[in-house]
Every structure is written in structure tokens, then in C-alpha cells.
Amino acid sequence: MEVKCFDRATLEGILRFPGVLETVESVYRSKASGETVVWPTVTHYFDGKDAVMDIRSGYDMGNEVYGAKMLATFPHNEEKGLPAFSGILVAIDGTTGLPIGIMDASFITSMRTGAAAAIGAKALARPESETLMVVGTGRQSLFMIGALLTAFPGIRTVLCAEPLHMENAVPYAENCPAKMKEMFDIDTDGIAFLPVKDLKEATGHADIIVTITRSTAPIIMRDWVREGTHFSCIGADMEGKEEIDPAILRDAVVYADDVDQCVRAGECELAIKGGVMAEEHISGQIGEVLLGQKPGRTSEKEITVFDATGLALLDLAVAKQVVEGYEDGTKINL
Amino acid sequence: MEVKCFDRATLEGILRFPGVLETVESVYRSKASGETVVWPTVTHYFDGKDAVMDIRSGYDMGNEVYGAKMLATFPHNEEKGLPAFSGILVAIDGTTGLPIGIMDASFITSMRTGAAAAIGAKALARPESETLMVVGTGRQSLFMIGALLTAFPGIRTVLCAEPLHMENAVPYAENCPAKMKEMFDIDTDGIAFLPVKDLKEATGHADIIVTITRSTAPIIMRDWVREGTHFSCIGADMEGKEEIDPAILRDAVVYADDVDQCVRAGECELAIKGGVMAEEHISGQIGEVLLGQKPGRTSEKEITVFDATGLALLDLAVAKQVVEGYEDGTKINL
């Protein structure tokens, strides 16, 4: 059987945010319609290597694609000149069981994660939002900004915050416009990119806050947050990770990409384990809001949170889009 | 990163039983030494398609390889001229998290499954065994015969049994010598291949019996079995499958490839659920016998059973052997 293979460089040339946003939104809708299956994630920590890998898999019946994504983070690779973060994705035709695509998973993961943050915001944030704050200046954070700027053309200010080393936000914010153009072909004329010096103060100015750090303790506190703020909590995707004060979750309208997964390993995990909120406080999955089955935000004043832990379904649907839409990949026989 | 890809035809040209037997034996030893991790299997039945897929994954620390194997059985594919059984395997370097090999999984699965049956027999059957009976004449059964003939050069008679359609064993047995030569380069001069007409009688003549059917009810009954017989039970690899009378298991010395997996989905499953034997009756895993940690067979008269449900670890170790040993694969960038 012939399988199309796509490396990272090819995917970088192909994938753009408007398309990925549409795909991610369609998967969230399918999921809320019961047309998807998320299989249990396998996670393994490598003793003594400071490394972790996971295997996420699922089946999107709407798109008739299933498969698995295997991601690995091996920080010591950089000492050997190898990528610290890598991944491979296998997409299989749900009508035949035959593989249709094999591709680098790192770029797709970044793109669909940015898109997830943006779709969560589109569903829950105030539509007139003008000020975005992105907390975290790692490589993933640029994808958050690119996706949010695509979903919210009205954004005029992007606050860039690096909670561990505040000063790193200065060069980061300076480079942002060039990066947006280079990576996503996004023009940022008329948008101010500002480094955050005082996280408390900046929090009070933001309409939308995306958290994308590796934090294991709250970075943003409840009493810093003004009414009407939306959070897309992206960084907390494994047990023990936490980015915002559990009291924010307690006082907010909360939706998840997948409720069980967020309870187990998302931003909600520690808030629930700590007894600050009950599992039932999660209103549902984001797809229910997109389908109009659940209300989402019901007033200008509510704080809203979208807790996303990541779904292989998103990657698989993007992979199918790539396989069907492009001939650029290398073809191999398997 | 560069990844080597191997299709089925290339693998058929590369893999031979002596090598695969050695690899499978080494993995069983590693597993018994605690140097492997078997991650939970994901299984999915496709409603209305009569189809099933599974994702098996694990980590072999001895060989420093981890990864996943995705197998699919879509019987209706044959109506479309597509393979009913297919699979893909991704092998990843355990020291870097980077993929090293992507390959067709169907041929490797067949080879390592034959090798598993043979290694189980090597560990538990009487070494002077001369008569092999293979129950089942599906495509997998030829791999059983090839592997057993390799592990037991003293075998003089191969009894071929097809429990559902006895008469099918006649052409099967006739074709066996040519198939052994063609598929595995095995000469069968001096070996008689005989179709089984009376399964009860044939059972009483066999030294080693390999069961490789899709049966969900016992095919071989306890009182047909003579002292000293060894069984390698291969066909029962999912819940609800069963090939031999639970009373055989009750009266035998039983080892598993993986105890938990065999209790959940192997030949032992229904014997335990039916209350015929206790889980504790399983003496341990086959690697413990290979390492000399457990006795295995202790007399000429004992009946022994090796229950194998299949381990992705075997496939991954074979895949690593392929990637390291051969340049024949197509190289792709990922």
C-alpha cells in the first residue's frame, strides 16, 4: 500500500491557521456529537533521562480517520545536536484500516494547539476582545499568538509574559511581528507587542489570557483578574501541572476539550484534587458550546476558562486534511 | 531526522527464522529481568464493519527501543481488492525519542508469532519431540511450522489439522514442503506432512501441539491428550477466544508470555473465568524459564502449556534488528 509521508519542512510550507482553525473546530463539533473516540493515553517517564513520551490515539468517525501520535521530549538531545521535542503521527483510513499518512507530529501539534486555544477563546471570550496576554515565551507560545490573531482580527495589543524570567519577554515581544510574518504569513501592522513587567497589572488589562508554560504552581492569582476575562489554559497537559489559581476556576464558567482528560491531567486536575472545585463545576466540552447545545458565556462579566489537554483527534484530522489536500509528501510503499 | 522504511516484500527478503527466534528469546529474557515495559493495548471494534484494530506498545530497555504496532483486520477489504489484514509499526530510539524505523507490521507479526510458539516449545516441550501437530490452516499456521522446524530439527512428522473443515488439511499438507522452502528456505526432506482426519487420534500422537485458530470454544479435549505433550496456544489473543479444554490447563504446567495479558485475553482467560483454574496456577512468564529462574517442565510426563497473546516488544526488537542490520529500506525525512 502507498502511504504519503510529510516531514516538518513540508508541513511548514503547507499548513496555515485559517485551515487548521476550521479543522480543529470541526473535530470539537464531531466530538460533542459523539462521532469520535478518544483512546487512553500511554505516558512513560524515562528514569534518569529526564525524558517523557506519550502515545495518544483516537478515531474520528466524521472524518473516517484513526491513528496515533507519539510525542517525545528528551531535553538532553540538544547536547547531541538533536531536537529535544519530536513526534511522529500515523493516520489510518477508518474504512479500510490501511495507513494513509505518516508525518512529523511536532509542527502539527504546535499548530493544532494554537488553534485549540483560539477556538476555545472564540467560543467563550468576549467577541470584542482587544487585548491578548500570552503567558510563556517558549517555542509553543508563538503558535498561540498566531492562532489568536487569526481568530480575533480585532486584537490590538499582545502582552507577552515570561513568569520565570521577566526580562526575556523584551526580546520576545520585539521579535514577535517578524515571527508572525515568517511563520504564519500574518501582518501585524497596528498591533502592539508589549513585554510584561508586572504580571498582576497586565492581568488586569487582558481580555484573553493564554497560558502556555510548564508550571506546576499557579502563576496568575484570582484577585488580579478582572470581570469578563477569558482564559485558554494550554500548558497544563499532564498530572501535576498547574498555571492559574484554582480560585479562578472556582469562580469561572469552565469548559474542557475532553472532560475526563482535563479532570485527570488538565488545569482542572489540581483544583479538583485540592477540593477548590468539584468535577461537576466543569460545564461540559467546548464542542457543546460550538454546537449551541450549551450556553458558554452568558454575560459580559463572567470569567471563562477553556481547559485543553490536547486530543490526538485534532492531529489526525489535520493529517487527513494534509494527505487529501497535498501531493508534496514523499510516497512510500508499506 | 532520517527514518528507514521497510515494506512487506523487503522484510520477506530479509527476515529468517534463526534470527527472529534469537530476538524473540532475548526479549522474553529481558522481560523476565524487568528490563521491559508493556503498555496497555488499545482495541477498537468498528460497528457495522465487522472490523477490529489494536494498538500495542511497549519499551524494551535492553534493546533501547520503544514504539507501537497498529494492526487492523477489515475482512470486507478483500471485496475491494485490498488486504484484509494490515499493520504498521513505528520503532523509536529509547535514548533520543527519535523514530528509527517505520515498517509493514504484518510479516513481522507472523514471524515473531511463529517464533514465540517455537521458543515456548523450546523452553517447555520434551527436547526429543518428533511429532508436531499444528491446529489451524490459516495463513499464520505456516509460520508456526517454519519456526518449530527451525527450533526442533528432530521433528519427523507434522500433523496438519483444520478443525472446521477437515478436508482442507489435505491440500494444505501437500503444499507445506514447497511453502517451507519458498517462504523460509527450509528443506523438509525426511519430514512427513500428514493431514489430520481424526483430531482425537492425532492429538494422542503429538509431542508438540500449536493451536492457531480463531476458535471461541475448545477444539482439543483433555482426555485426548497423552502424558508429556506440550501446547503452544497462540490463537487465543483476545477476550472470548479459546482453543483447548480448560481441563488441560488445569492439569498442566502453564507459562505465559505476559501473565496479566494472558489472564485478560489469552487461552487462560476463560479457564479462569469459568473457575476451572486459578490465576495462581500460571507458574510465571516464559522468560523466567529461559533465565533458569523457574523450572519449566520437571518430568517427562507433565503436560505443559505456553499461553502467548503477543507482545509489541517482540515486534519492536525485530524492527530494531532490521533497521540496524539492513540498508534495503527506503529512507525518508521526518
**Per-residue pLDDT tens for A7-62?**
999 999 999 999 999 999 999 999 999 999 999 989 999 988 899 999 999 999 98
Q: What is the pLDDT of residue A325?
A: 84
Distance to chain B for A154, nearest Cα, Å:
37
DSSP H helices in A42-140: 106-124
Grid cell for residue A164: 520565570
Asked if B74 lies within 8 A of A80 by C-beta distance, the reply is: no
Quote the percentage of chain B above a pLDDT of 70: 99
Which is nearest to A305 in space by CA: A215, A163, A208?
Answer: A208
- Residue A328: pLDDT above 90? no
Write down the mean pLDDT value for chain A.
95
Catalytic residue among B4, B31, B49, B69: B69
pTM assigned to the model: 0.86
- Residue A1: pLDDT above 90? no
> Who among A70, A92, A98 is closest to B92 (CB)?
A70
Which is nearest to B21 in space by CA: B145, B115, B153?
Answer: B115
CA distance B184 to A287: 53
Distance to chain B for A208, nearest Cα, Å:
35
ipTM score of the complex?
0.85
- Residue B329: pLDDT above 80? no
- Residue A327: pLDDT above 80? no
- Residue A309: pLDDT above 90? yes
Q: How confident is the model at residue A330 (pLDDT cuts 50, 70, 90)?
A: confident
Phi, psi torsion values for A118, nearest 5 degrees: -75, -40
Q: How confident is the model at residue A238 (pLDDT cuts 50, 70, 90)?
A: confident
How many other C-beta atoms lie within 10 A of the C-beta of residue B82?
16
Distance to chain A for B324, nearest Cα, Å:
19
Please name the amino acid found at residue B91: A
Q: Which one-letter DSSP state was computed for residue B280?
A: G
Residue B175 exposed, middle or buried by CB count within 10 Å (0-12, 13-18, 19+): middle
Beta strands in chain B (DSSP E): 2-6, 36-46, 51-60, 65-73, 85-93, 99-104, 131-135, 157-161, 192-195, 208-211, 216-220, 230-233, 242-244, 253-256, 282-285, 304-307, 330-333
Distance to chain A for B41, nearest Cα, Å:
9
Q: How confident is the model at residue A116 (pLDDT cuts 50, 70, 90)?
A: very high
Q: How confident is the model at residue B237 (pLDDT cuts 50, 70, 90)?
A: confident
> In order of start, what are the domains of chain A with their CATH numbers?
2-108+313-333 (3.30.1780.10), 124-310 (3.40.50.720)
CA distance A238 to A258: 13
Asked if A55 lies within 8 A of B59 by C-beta distance, the reply is: no
Which tens digit of pLDDT belongs to each residue from B102-135? 999 999 999 999 999 999 999 999 999 999 999 9
Q: What is the pLDDT of residue A334?
A: 73
Q: What is the pLDDT of residue A326?
A: 79
Asked if B332 lies within 8 A of A73 by C-beta distance, the reply is: no
CA distance B334 to B332: 6
Q: Which one-letter DSSP state was computed for residue A226?
A: P
Residues of A in contact with B83 (CB under 8 A): 1, 98
- Residue A91: pLDDT above 80? yes
What is the per-residue DSSP string for A183-196? Answer: HH----TT-EEEE-
For chain B, the residues whose C-beta falls within 8 A of a C-beta of chain A are: 1, 3, 5, 7-8, 37, 39-40, 42, 44, 46, 49, 51, 53, 55, 57, 59, 66-68, 70, 72-74, 77, 80, 82-83, 86, 88, 90, 92, 94-99, 102-104, 330, 332-334
Residue range B34-40: average pLDDT? 93
Residues of B in contact with A51 (CB under 8 A): 97
Q: What is the pLDDT of residue A80?
A: 94
